[in-house]
């Protein structure tokens, strides 16, 4: 449709039709299939279902046959035959399930992540979907919060790169192109900083921190032409984002020039009442529409109140028309007026979804997402087939290995470790003993009924596992959080491996010291006990479909691990929030450098994380040469080149991620100890050496200055280059203005 035709349509629509476009229903109002996903409290059915043939969009259902039928029936019943949008949370794969986003981000490989997003889009589109509620780009610094699993970590620069990659992967060239779906960046804004890491809790961020650290990734998505923005549940400056005009009207629409569709999070408009800034549903609806929220996800308050608000002149028809037009334009960008079914195709769906090519890419990305945290005496990889290996732990033969938001996954297609090992080494008979269940009755997971059975633990499991460990050379122990202990509404104050599993680990350790831990989790965990005893720790996160195959490749040395942490692992939850680019403070504590009591430190723990941002081992050892720069002063318009050599002094071919950090030694506001400003992949054969160069320009040194302008300031800077955020070589340069 042309713009003119869209405006004619708008002017021809009845008021009820217009309000219908602003309303989103859950799939269960249209489809009886078991795959209806409800991700929040269900609103009042009556009101919503009686208006269902006017609704603008639906979330949480999929399937070409079902959605073609629903869309056909819907259009026949709609006065202007305006097709619905089908939306869903497809955040780490559709049916080919990729590792959770926090895992993917450890690949430091935006191209691979873009390809995974593309595959997600292709599978979603052929199954009838038009929009994914992804990328989630919330910066995270607190492992107590369960949704760190959905993020790409604690670094602003990296989150911005991944936000761009995912939006481009989902949306392709044009939204109407085959295989493209609209992306919806979330959760705008600052949702990743809930006080105390408690889900849906208040967010207290200074304006400078919000715009310096949290906002750039949303901006990167919007600059990549992201079609939608989802408002977050939280407050900013004590105003819930869903009613925050400063954020939505002034910053998002005007400063960022966003012209797409703003959707509330699930019932977030109704939650304005519980936030105590709206007396009732009417006031909540008024606040949200005035703030520019176009679609009401599942509260029904727009349906219920906008007509009254209009009659009382509390809102204008222009306001409603503006939101309706945003939605019609999105449908038009997707080509739905010409083809309301877009890519939905029953035959193609069978060919494309979960095809080998998609699985192959999933395996590649899963391998790259795995992080080797420890590898004493190079116990990994296991090359010597004569070794008698015991497979122990509840995750050895588990298929519960996909992230909590893998809403369309069929867990039976997940490759377990046992299957992956047998796929790689079919001639081997692996001895396996579960040892214990993933959870025991001490873990109260209210509301998860039906999704998590708290199995009664069979004490024989433990004895059998100990017996097996006693007679083995090596124990491969697969343990970790339950997959639903991370994700939405899964904040934890004890970020540990479930107690029953830690007890199993300790018992096994008593009879066998050669333990390789394979860790399944959606967040950084407290690992001091396990780290002090295990010979090796392989962080595999929640790896999804190809988990077992990817893990087998790494364990048996087909490839060296190459992942690097994008979120710090605290020694203790008491350190949270903890992140690499912290500030010096007025009393910096330099380990072993000061005996002074009065420093910024704990008296019962080190300040440092157990494993820092950017950290990850390979099967080889690399030696960094000296760092150099071609000039020690740059001005506004020139640049310097910094170089370093890296030599593979081990005997394994590896992929390393060389990281560039920069510290601003002084500014008009305090500046972080160091900030990631670049990274490069190097692939080095044993004995080989590579030279890595980074260009440093003035625009990499800009920040929100004291006067709130964005720019750099002259002065000294330090370049750090290394294989993680801590072990680096450094050199200074001066920026003159
Ligand atoms: C949830 C989540 C959001 C998701 C939405 C729709 O509550 O906060 O990330 O996209 O509801 O399922």
Local confidence band at 706 (pLDDT 50, 70, 90 cut-offs)? very high
Local confidence band at 295 (pLDDT 50, 70, 90 cut-offs)? very high
Rama region for 453: left / alpha / beta (φ>0; ψ in -120 to 50; rest): beta
Give whole-number Cα distances, 489 to 146, 432, 445, 577, in Å: 7, 34, 10, 18
Residue 229 to residue 7: CA distance in whole angstroms? 23
Q: What residue spans of 512-595 are helical by DSSP H?
A: 528-533, 547-555
Answer whether 405 contacts ligand 1 (Cβ < 6 A): no
Positive/negative CA dihedral, 94, 147, 570, 624: positive
Give the residue, out of 35, 89, 486, with the most ligand 1 atoms within 8 A of its beta carbon, to mutate for a pocket test. Answer: 89
Answer whether 115 contacts ligand 1 (Cβ < 6 A): no
Local confidence band at 440 (pLDDT 50, 70, 90 cut-offs)? confident
Of residues 49, 136, 48, the one with CA closest to residue 92: 136
Give residues with Cβ within 8 angstroms of 175, minimum separation 6: 181, 182, 227, 330, 333, 334, 335
Burial class (CB in 10 A: 0-12, 13-18, 19+), 676: buried
Residue 296 to residue 299: CA distance in whole angstroms? 6
| Residue 40: per-residue pLDDT | 61
Give the residue, out of 37, 43, 133, 293, with the most ligand 1 atoms within 8 A of its beta carbon, to mutate for a pocket test. Answer: 133
Place of tokens 């939505």: 248
Read off the pTM. Answer: 0.97
Residue 250 to residue 237: CA distance in whole angstroms? 15
Q: Reduced to 3 DSSP states, what percent helix, strand and coil does the chain have, rounded to the nearest 5?
A: 35, 20, 45
Residues facing 371 on adjacent strands: 539
Angle at 660 between CA 655 and CA 662, to 5 degrees: 165
Answer whether 266 contacts ligand 1 (Cβ < 6 A): yes
Of residues 409, 557, 544, 534, the one with CA closest to residue 478: 534
| Residue 210: per-residue pLDDT | 98
Whether residue 550 is predicted with pLDDT greater than 70 in this model: the reply is yes
Give the atom of ligand 1 at the shortest distance from the alpha carbon of 230.
10
Rama region for 390: left / alpha / beta (φ>0; ψ in -120 to 50; rest): beta
Residue 590 to residue 599: CA distance in whole angstroms? 9
Whether residue 695 is predicted with pLDDT greater than 60 in this model: the reply is yes
| Residue 590: per-residue pLDDT | 86
Average pLDDT, the chain: 95
- Specify whether the CB–CB gap between 652 and 560 falls below 8 A: yes
Q: What residue spans of 541-678 are helical by DSSP H?
A: 547-555
* pLDDT tens readout for residues 609-630: 999 999 999 999 999 999 999 9
Give residues with Cβ within 8 angstroms of 709, minimum separation 6: none
3-state secondary structure of 539: strand
State phi, psi for 54 to the nearest 5 degrees.
-115, -5
Residues facing 93 on adjacent strands: 97
Of residues 540, 496, 208, 259, the one with CA closest to residue 403: 540
| Residue 37: per-residue pLDDT | 60
| Residue 453: per-residue pLDDT | 73
* CA 265 – ligand 1 centroid, Å: 6
Answer whether 162 contacts ligand 1 (Cβ < 6 A): no
| Residue 38: per-residue pLDDT | 61
Average pLDDT score over residue span 17-38: 81
Local confidence band at 41 (pLDDT 50, 70, 90 cut-offs)? low
What percent of the chain has a predicted confidence (pLDDT) above 90? 91
Residue 425 to residue 152: CA distance in whole angstroms? 33
Give the atom of ligand 1 at the shortest distance from the alpha carbon of 89.
10
Place of tokens 């008491």: 574
Whether residue 43 is predicted with pLDDT greater than 70 in this model: the reply is no
According to the 3-state scheme, what is the secondary structure of 341-403? CCCCCHHHHHHHCCCHHHHHHHHHHHHHHCEEEEEHHHCCCCCCCCCCEEEECCCCCCCCCCC
Answer whether 488 contacts ligand 1 (Cβ < 6 A): yes
Residue 591 to residue 579: CA distance in whole angstroms? 17
Local confidence band at 445 (pLDDT 50, 70, 90 cut-offs)? confident
* pLDDT tens readout for residues 63-119: 999 999 999 999 999 999 999 999 999 999 999 999 999 999 999 999 999 999 999
* CA 291 – ligand 1 centroid, Å: 20
* pLDDT tens readout for residues 135-154: 999 999 999 999 999 999 99
| Residue 42: per-residue pLDDT | 57
| Residue 36: per-residue pLDDT | 58
Q: Is the peptide bond before 682 cis (omega within 30 degrees of 0)?
A: no
Local confidence band at 447 (pLDDT 50, 70, 90 cut-offs)? confident
Q: Estimate to the nearest angstrom the gap between the alpha carbon of 512 and the chain centroid.
A: 36
* pLDDT tens readout for residues 364-423: 999 999 999 999 999 999 998 888 999 999 999 999 999 999 999 999 999 999 999 999
Place of tokens 């009207």: 249
Positive/negative CA dihedral, 304, 307, 312, 314: positive
Local confidence band at 720 (pLDDT 50, 70, 90 cut-offs)? very high
3-state secondary structure of 640: strand
* CA 572 – ligand 1 centroid, Å: 29
Whether residue 179 is predicted with pLDDT greater than 80 in this model: the reply is yes
Average pLDDT score over residue span 252-266: 98
Local confidence band at 46 (pLDDT 50, 70, 90 cut-offs)? low
Local confidence band at 316 (pLDDT 50, 70, 90 cut-offs)? very high
Give the atom of ligand 1 at the shortest distance from the alpha carbon of 186.
9
Average pLDDT score over residue span 666-685: 98
* pLDDT tens readout for residues 408-437: 999 999 999 999 999 999 999 999 999 999
Whether residue 491 is predicted with pLDDT greater than 70 in this model: the reply is yes
Average pLDDT score over residue span 478-489: 96
* pLDDT tens readout for residues 466-476: 999 999 999 99
Local confidence band at 557 (pLDDT 50, 70, 90 cut-offs)? very high
Comparison of pLDDT for 684 and 385, the residue scoring more = 684
Answer whether 296 contacts ligand 1 (Cβ < 6 A): no
Of residues 119, 514, 694, the one with CA closest to residue 352: 119
Give residues with Cβ within 8 angstroms of 658, minimum separation 6: 644, 646, 679, 680, 681, 682, 692, 721, 722, 723
Query: Closest residue (by CA) to atom 12 of ligand 1?
Result: 39
What percent of the chain has a predicted confidence (pLDDT) above 70? 97
Whether residue 685 is predicted with pLDDT greater than 70 in this model: the reply is yes
Give the residue, out of 100, 138, 230, 267, with the most ligand 1 atoms within 8 A of its beta carbon, to mutate for a pocket test. Answer: 230
Residues facing 372 on adjacent strands: 538, 617
HSE of 161 in the Cβ direction (CA atoms, 13 Å)?
Answer: 20
Q: What is the dihedral of CA 480, 481, 486, 489, to 10 degrees?
A: -170
Query: Closest residue (by CA) to atom 11 of ligand 1?
Result: 266
Quote the tokens at residue 116. 């995974």
Quote the tokens at residue 207. 């304006």
* pLDDT tens readout for residues 320-360: 999 999 999 999 999 999 999 999 999 999 999 999 999 99
Residue 248 to residue 464: CA distance in whole angstroms? 59
Q: What residue spans of 660-723 are helical by DSSP H?
A: none
Of residues 598, 731, 586, 585, the one with CA closest to residue 672: 585
Residues tagged active-site:
265
Answer whether 95 contacts ligand 1 (Cβ < 6 A): no
């Amino acid at each position: 449709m042309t713009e003119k035709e869209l405006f004619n349509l708008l002017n021809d629509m009845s008021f009820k039709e217009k309000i219908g476009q602003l309303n989103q229903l859950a799939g269960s109002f249209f489809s009886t299939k078991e795959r209806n996903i409800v991700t929040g409290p269900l609103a009042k059915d009556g009101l919503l279902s009686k208006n269902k043939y006017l609704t603008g969009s639906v979330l949480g259902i999929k399937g070409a046959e079902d959605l073609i039928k629903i869309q056909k029936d819907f259009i026949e019943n709609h006065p202007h035959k305006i097709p619905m949008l089908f939306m869903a949370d497809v955040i780490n794969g559709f049916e080919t399930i990729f590792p959770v986003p926090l895992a993917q981000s450890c690949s430091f490989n935006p191209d691979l992540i873009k390809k995974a997003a593309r595959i997600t889009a292709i599978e979603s589109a052929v199954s009838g979907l038009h929009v994914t509620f992804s990328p989630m780009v919330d910066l995270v610094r607190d492992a107590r919060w369960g949704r760190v699993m959905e993020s790409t970590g604690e670094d602003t620069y990296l989150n911005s790169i991944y936000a761009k990659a995912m939006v481009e992967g989902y949306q392709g060239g044009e939204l109407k192109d085959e295989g493209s779906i609209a992306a919806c960046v979330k959760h705008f804004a600052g949702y990743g900083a809930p006080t105390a890491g408690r889900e849906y809790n208040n967010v207290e961020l200074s304006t400078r921190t919000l715009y310096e650290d949290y906002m750039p990734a949303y901006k990167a998505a919007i600059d990549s032409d992201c079609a939608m923005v989802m408002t977050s549940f939280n407050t900013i400056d004590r105003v819930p984002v869903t009613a925050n005009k400063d954020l939505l009207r002034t910053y998002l629409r005007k400063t960022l020039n966003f012209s797409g569709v703003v959707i509330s999070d699930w019932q977030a408009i109704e939650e304005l009442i519980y936030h105590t800034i709206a007396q009732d549903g009417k006031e909540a609806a008024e606040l949200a529409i005035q703030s520019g929220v176009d679609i009401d996800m599942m509260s029904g308050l727009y349906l219920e109140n906008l007509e009254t608000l209009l009659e009382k002149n509390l809102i204008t028809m222009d306001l409603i028309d503006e939101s309706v037009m945003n939605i019609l334009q999105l449908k038009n960008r997707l080509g739905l007026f010409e083809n309301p079914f877009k890519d939905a195709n029953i035959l193609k769906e069978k060919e494309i979804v979960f095809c080998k090519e998609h699985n192959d890419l999933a395996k590649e990305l899963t391998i790259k997402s795995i992080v080797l945290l420890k590898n004493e005496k190079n116990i990994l990889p296991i090359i010597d087939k004569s070794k008698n290996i015991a497979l122990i732990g509840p995750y050895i033969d588990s298929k519960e290995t996909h992230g909590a938001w893998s809403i369309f996954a069929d867990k039976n297609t997940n490759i377990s470790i046992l299957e992956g090992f047998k796929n790689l080494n079919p001639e081997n008979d692996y001895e396996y003993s579960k040892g214990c269940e993933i959870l025991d009755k001490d873990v109260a997971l209210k509301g998860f009924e039906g999704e998590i059975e708290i199995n009664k633990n069979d004490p024989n499991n433990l004895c059998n596992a100990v017996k097996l460990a006693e007679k083995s050379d090596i124990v491969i122990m697969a343990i970790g959080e339950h997959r639903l202990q991370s994700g939405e509404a899964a904040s934890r104050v004890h970020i540990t491996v479930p107690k029953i599993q830690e007890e199993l680990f300790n018992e096994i350790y008593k009879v066998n010291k050669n333990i390789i831990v394979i860790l399944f989790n959606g967040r950084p965990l407290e690992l001091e006990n396990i780290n002090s005893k295990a010979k090796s720790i392989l962080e595999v996160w929640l790896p999804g479909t190809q988990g077992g195959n990817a893990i087998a490749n790494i364990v048996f040395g087909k490839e060296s691990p190459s992942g690097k942490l994008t979120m710090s692992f605290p020694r203790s939850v008491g350190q949270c929030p903890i992140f690499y680019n912290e500030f010096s403070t007025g009393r910096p504590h330099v380990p072993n450098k000061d005996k002074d009591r009065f420093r910024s430190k704990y008296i019962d723990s080190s300040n440092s994380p157990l494993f820092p941002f950017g950290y990850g081992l390979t099967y080889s050892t690399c030696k960094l040469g000296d760092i150099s720069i071609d000039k020690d002063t740059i001005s506004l318009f020139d640049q310097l080149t910094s170089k370093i050599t890296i030599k593979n002094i081990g005997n394994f071919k590896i992929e390393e991620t060389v990281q560039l950090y920069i510290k601003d030694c002084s500014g008009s506001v305090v500046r972080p100890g160091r900030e990631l400003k670049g990274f490069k992949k190097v692939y080095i054969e044993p004995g080989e050496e590579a030279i890595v160069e980074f260009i440093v320009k003035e625009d990499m040194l800009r920040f929100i200055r004291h006067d709130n302008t964005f720019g750099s300031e002259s002065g000294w800077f330090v370049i750090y280059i290394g294989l993680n955020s801590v072990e680096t070589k450094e050199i200074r340069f001066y920026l003159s203005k």
